[in-house]
Each structure stands twice: as structure tokens, then as C-alpha cells.
Amino acid sequence: MQFVNTVMYGYVMTRRLSRQDWIEYGLTILSEKGFNALKAEPLARGLKVSRGSFYWHFKHLRAFQEAVLEHWKTTTTERVIDQVASDAEALKALTTQALTSNPTLERSIRAWSSEVAWVAQVVDSVDRRRIQFIEQLLEEQRVPNETIPVRAKVLYWAYLGRVLVNSSELDDRAVDDIVKLMLKP
């Protein structure tokens, strides 16, 4: 570990933070304290480094916020799609993951999107991508074409409802019932 000759907030800085360190910390703070806490000075203080470290990796606050949203989008949408797409029971795997995951970060992102227009656009694109994937899974299961868009949205709305009301996890039987309902002819 390389030591840096800088004392910041009473601590000797012992390592250099990467761009990814900042993004992951930003997601943690977003989840815990909300989007108003995504500011260079308090983040630097929380990481016990200088604000210069932040600006070394990000040109400005918006660039950081965009990186945080891009990481959220990748990990909670594209990576999840990649993981479940090859599963023989992909719809069940996706539904299980969606209805049993921790909703705190998703709730914070959606609160942010209700206040900031460009964030709302990112969230809207994620919503469309997720619904499109559910539609694809329903089509693969030979659900009648005319019902696919509505069923995909209902299943996605179940996920969003759980996020917003912070309901407890569903057990396997409940997930099975939901998937069977979505696959009924």
C-alpha cells in the first residue's frame, strides 16, 4: 500500500481511491442518505480523502452522478438479464430475484428521478429495457401475443410496488403462483 504525504480530516491517506471506489461509495450513500448526499465534499469526508481525489476521477458532480446511475443500470438491469437469460426457468429466476432483493437503492434512485429530469430519463430507459426483457421471456414461454405487453407491465408493476411499499420478501410458493399466473393461456 502506497502512503501519500497528505493529512486530510485527521487521517494520513494510505491509498489512492479508484473511480470504481467512488462510484460504489456513491451508491452506498445514495441508498443510505438519498441523492442530496451525492456531493464531493461530504463524500470525500466520508472516505477520509481530499476533495481533489473526487475531481481527479470526475470532471464535475454531474459526471459522477451519471457514473453512479450507469453502474446502477448495469448491475441491476443488464447484469441481471445476462444472469437469468440462460436459466431454463428464466421468468421464475427473474421474478424471484426481483421480488426478494433489497429495494433500498431502487427506492432511492426513484426518489431522485422524481426530482431531477435527466435522472427520470435514465430510469425511464431502464424501465423500458426491463419490461422489454420480461416481454421476451413471456414470448419464449408461448404466452398469447396479445397478452404479453399487459402481463409484462403487471409483473414489473408488482416489482415496483414491492420497492415502493417496502413489503417483506415473498416465499417460493408466492413467486411460483405469480409466474403461473403470468404464463396462463
- Pick the more confident residue, 2 or 21: 21
Report the DSSP beta bridge partners of residue 7.
12
Q: What angle do CA 52, 72, 114 make, to 5 degrees?
A: 95
Return d(Cα 9, Cα 129) in angstroms, integer: 43
pLDDT in tens, 132-149: 999 999 999 999 999 999
pLDDT over 80 (residue 169): no
